[in-house]
Structure 1
Amino acid sequence: MSNDNEKHVKVLVLGAGPAGLAAALYAARAELKPVVLTGMQLGGQAALTHTIENYPGFPEGVGGAQLGELFQKQAENFGAKVEFDMAHEVDLSQRPYKVTTDSGEYKADTLILTTGANPTHLNVPGEVELTGRGVSYCATCDGWFFKDKKVAIVGGGDSALEEALFITRYASSVTVIHRRDEFRASPVLQKRAKEHPKMNFILDTVVTEVVGTDKIDTLKLKNVKTGAESTFDTDGLFIFIGHVPNTQMFKGQLEMSDLGYVIVNDKMETSVEGVYAAGEIADPHFRQVITSAGMGAAAAIQATRFLETSTAELEEAAKS
Structure 2
Amino acid sequence: MDIQFEVIIIGAGPAGLTAAIYASRANMRVLLLEQESPGGKLVKTYKIENYTGVESSSGVDLAMSFMNHGLAFGAEMDFGSVVKVESVGKIKKVTLDNGKEFTGKAVIVATGTKERPLDVEMADRFTGRGISYCAVCDGAFYRDKVVAIVGGGNSALEEALFITSLVEKVNIVIRRDEFRAEPKIVDEVLKHEKINVIYKHLPESLIIEDNNIVGLNIKHVDTGEITPLMCSGIFPYIGADPATSFLDKSILNERGYIIAKSDMSTDIEGIFGAGDVIDKELRQVVTATSDGAIAANSAIKYIKNNF
* TM-score bin, normalised by smaller chain: 0.7 to 0.9
Q: Distance in 1 between matches of 2:131 and 2:65?
A: 29
Instruction: Please tell me whether residue 260 in structure 1 is matched to residue 256 in structure 2.
Output: yes
Matched, 1:90 2:85: yes
TM-score by length of 1: 0.71
Identify if the C-alpha distance between structure 1 residues 206 and 89 changes in structure 2 by more than 3 Å, giving closer, same or farther.
same
Partner AA of 1:140 in structure 2: N
Residue 140 of structure 1 corresponds to 154
Residue 67 of structure 2 is matched in structure 1 by 72
Instruction: State how 1:1-320 maps to structure 2 within 5 Å.
Output: 8-59=4-55, 61-92=56-87, 94-101=89-96, 102=98, 104-122=100-118, 124=123, 125=126, 126-128=130-132, 131-132=135-136, 133=139, 135=149, 139-140=153-154, 143=157, 146=161, 152-155=172-175, 161-163=179-181, 167-172=185-190, 201-203=199-201, 205-206=202-203, 208-209=205-206, 220-223=216-219, 228-231=226-229, 239-240=237-238, 242-252=239-249, 254-283=250-279, 285-311=281-307
Amino acid of the structure 2 residue aligned with 1:152:
I
* Contact residue 105 and residue 270 of structure 2 kept, 8 A: yes
Deviations 1:95-138 (A, max 9, x none): 10111123522111010001111121216452318723474878
Bigger-Rg structure (1/2): 1
Q: Within 2, Cα distance between the matches of 1:141 and 1:227?
A: 27
Q: Which moved more, 1:242-251 or 1:97-106?
A: 97-106
Q: TM-score, normalised by structure 2?
A: 0.74
Mind listing any 5+ residue stretches in structure 2 that lack a counterpart? 140-146, 209-213
Instruction: Assess, with a 3 A threshold, how the Cα gap between structure 1 residues 164 and 28 changes in structure 2: closer, same or farther.
Output: closer
Aligned identity (percent) is 24
Deviation string, structure 1 residues 235-269 (Cα, Å, up to 9, x no partner): 996632x32111110033x4211111010011111
Distance 1:71 1:137, change over 3 A: farther
Offset from partner CA, 1:66-92 (integer Å, 9 cap, x none): 222211211222111122233221113
Deviation digits for residues 132-157 of structure 1 (CA, Å, limit 9, x no counterpart)? 34748784356467499976243459
Task: Tell me how far apart the structure 1 counterparts of residues 133 and 154 of structure 2 sit (CA, whole Å).
Answer: 21
